[in-house]
């Protein structure tokens, strides 16, 4: 709806924490977390990433996060998998 | 014929500042700058790690266009010959100067901070930068360690100084040279603190008695946090003091008391940084340049101070991506000052009594660091680079951010309108 948003992203080498999770080299990146941030929420999807051609596959979602800022400003309660909220956003994105 | 530009980039600084509402921190000089600036309270980096964030906002391109997600490639070789903010100003008649950490060092800026493309002369790096990760922290046993928590006696440091103190001295020297030569300048000053190690003059500890330091409001790993989203803060685990705690990998928590010591030292490092910024802005006054210089204050990204059981930055959480962002524009964010009037008198964090933090104009609209390039071009009266096409690898000059100058004089109502009057996300969606 034209509301200002901020995009951010972060790479990961694997689905679970390992020694190079914080700063994976390009060749080791397998997943990219893409976030959309508005005043009201932060929505993140962690999708498969191919470092050879820099492509992100948004059909291959490894995990998702959704935090509503009004009720959860510290982003502690991930409601991505809750039926009402998560479904709404999955449909949109 | 265009204002000078002073851009201050701070390493790993989250908005732990009085002007952003933090009641514990003592940051009088940055608060004073904010009171004369437009301050954005919802500004976000595009990737919360040093080189990718800096290359992104300095080129005005997102990480998927710079294709720098780590530290090991130079965009002009690896992705495209993208222009940078300083390069654009240099090509428009500015003397461009870099002091300290502005580009991330190493291959990501061609081992030269992108000199000569971006800068008119070789960038300055403090001579004591090389000791940053050495064993310079005195432990309880009197021996020297490479600790995370590292308050120091500056007289005992190599060269009896610290990198950011040297950077401030060099930046002040350059301001005076520019003034003498009546040279229009773009000066970028990159401060290393509060990036780890938290090494700062030990007297700043007095500002933050440990009993006043609390834990993060949510110091545990959230139940429904996907494992892929968690960052195991490997860098601080390698510091001697953290290593000695033998915390289990990846989800073990640091001892609460040590968590408070880290937070105490982060705050102390912020006040040390505030002192450096205060000295630099005071020198701007001394040189009579406050009325003709735009000042930008920002950071490359934030840092987790224990929230979600995390330390460091390597995530998409707000504490890691949200940054301070403020613009002082003489005649726009403040009324013009008379010759000789002081705009940024130095305020001593140790003696300055903070009753009320001076208020400037703040905007809570969501903005991005990638917008810095078009915003600075517009503020300086330069042609604003065009918006990049969907793929812009072959385009040297364009931007993937939008200038945010339109918010400078916009009323809150107008900003709200930009949100399309959407007061109920679900209804609108």
Predicted local confidence at residue B414, as pLDDT: 61
The two tokens of residue A73 are 């400003």
The side-by-side arrangement of strands in the sheet containing A6-12 is A6-12, A31-37, A41-50, A55-68
* CB B310, CB B6: distance < 8 Å: no
Task: Fill in the DSSP letter of residue B227.
Answer: G
**B424 vs B245, more confident:** B245
Mean pLDDT confidence for B314-324: 98
CA distances from B354 to B29, B228, B421 (A): 11, 42, 38
What is the Cα–Cα distance from B250 to B376, expressed in whole angstroms?
Answer: 41
The pLDDT of residue A77 is above 70: yes
Residue A35: exposure state from Cβ atoms within 10 A (0-12, 13-18, ≥19): buried
Predicted local confidence at residue A2, as pLDDT: 73
Closest residue, chain B, to A29 (C-alpha): B69
Predicted local confidence at residue B429, as pLDDT: 44
Predicted local confidence at residue B428, as pLDDT: 45
Predicted local confidence at residue B332, as pLDDT: 92
Q: Which range (B26-30, B192-196, B205-209, B413-417) has the least confidence? A: B413-417
Q: Is B231 on the interface with A (CB under 8 A)?
A: yes
What is the residue-wise DSSP string for A36-62? Answer: EE-SSEEEEEEEEEETTTTEEEEEEEE
The pLDDT of residue A5 is above 70: yes
ipTM for this prediction: 0.95
Q: Which range (A26-30, A56-60, B242-246, B424-428) has the least confidence? A: B424-428
Identify the sign of the CA torsion B191, B196, B199, B204.
positive
Of residues B72, B365, B425, nearest to A41 (C-beta): B425
Which residues, numbered 23 to 62 in chain A, qualify as contacts with chain B under a Cβ-Cβ cut-off of 8 Å? Answer: 23-26, 29, 31-33, 35, 37-42, 44, 46, 54, 56, 62
The pLDDT of residue B61 is above 60: yes
**A92 vs B240, more confident:** B240
**pLDDT tens digits, B339-349:** 778 999 999 99
**pLDDT tens digits, B108-154:** 999 999 999 999 999 999 999 999 999 999 999 999 999 999 999 99
Predicted local confidence at residue B148, as pLDDT: 98
């Amino acid at each position: 709806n034209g509301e200002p948003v901020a995009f951010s992203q972060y790479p990961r080498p694997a689905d679970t924490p390992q020694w190079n999770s914080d700063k994976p080299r390009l060749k080791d990146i397998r997943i990219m977390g893409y976030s959309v941030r508005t005043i009201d929420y932060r929505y993140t999807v962690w999708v498969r990433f191919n470092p050879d051609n820099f492509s992100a596959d948004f059909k291959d979602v490894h995990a998702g996060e959704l935090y509503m800022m009004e009720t959860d400003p510290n982003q502690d309660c991930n409601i991505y998998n809750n039926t009402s909220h998560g479904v709404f956003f999955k449909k949109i994105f | 014929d265009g204002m000078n530009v002073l851009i201050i980039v701070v390493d790993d600084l989250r908005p732990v500042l009085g002007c952003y509402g933090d009641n514990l921190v003592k940051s009088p000089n940055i608060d004073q700058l904010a009171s004369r600036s437009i301050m954005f309270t919802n500004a976000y980096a595009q990737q919360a790690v040093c080189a990718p964030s800096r290359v992104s906002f300095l080129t005005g391109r997102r990480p998927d266009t710079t294709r720098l997600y780590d530290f090991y490639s130079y965009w002009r070789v690896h992705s495209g010959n993208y222009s940078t903010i300083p390069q654009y100003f240099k090509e428009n008649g500015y003397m461009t100067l870099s002091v300290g950490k502005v580009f991330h060092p190493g291959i990501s800026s061609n081992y030269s901070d992108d000199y000569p493309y971006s800068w008119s002369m070789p960038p300055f790096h403090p001579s004591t930068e090389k000791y940053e990760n050495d064993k310079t922290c005195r432990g309880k046993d009197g021996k020297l360690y490479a600790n995370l928590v590292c308050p120091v006696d500056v007289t005992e440091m190599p060269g009896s100084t610290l990198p950011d103190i040297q950077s401030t001295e060099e930046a002040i020297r350059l301001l005076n040279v520019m003034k003498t030569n009546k040279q229009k300048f773009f000066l970028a000053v990159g401060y290393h603190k509060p990036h780890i190690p938290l090494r700062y003059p030990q007297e700043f500890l007095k500002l933050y008695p440990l009993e006043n330091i609390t834990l993060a409001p949510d110091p545990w790993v959230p139940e429904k946090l996907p494992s892929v989203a968690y960052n195991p803060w490997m860098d601080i685990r390698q510091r001697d003091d953290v290593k000695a705690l033998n915390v289990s990998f990846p989800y073990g928590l640091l001892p609460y008391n040590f968590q408070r010591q880290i937070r105490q030292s982060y705050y102390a490092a912020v006040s040390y940084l505030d002192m450096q910024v205060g000295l630099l802005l005071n020198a701007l006054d001394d040189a009579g340049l406050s009325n003709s210089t735009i000042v930008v204050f920002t950071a490359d990204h934030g840092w987790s101070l224990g929230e979600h059981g995390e330390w460091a930055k390597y995530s998409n959480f707000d504490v890691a991506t949200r940054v301070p962002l403020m613009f002082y524009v003489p005649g726009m964010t403040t009324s013009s000052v008379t010759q000789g009037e002081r705009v940024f008198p130095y305020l001593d964090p140790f003696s300055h009594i903070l009753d009320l933090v001076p208020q400037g104009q703040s905007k809570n609209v969501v903005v991005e660091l990638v917008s810095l390039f078009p915003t600075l071009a517009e503020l300086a009266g330069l042609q604003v680079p065009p918006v990049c096409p969907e793929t812009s690898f072959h385009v040297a000059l364009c931007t993937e951010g939008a200038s945010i100058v339109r918010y400078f004089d916009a009323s809150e109502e107008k900003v709200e309108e930009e949100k399309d009057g959407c007061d109920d996300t679900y209804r609108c969606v």
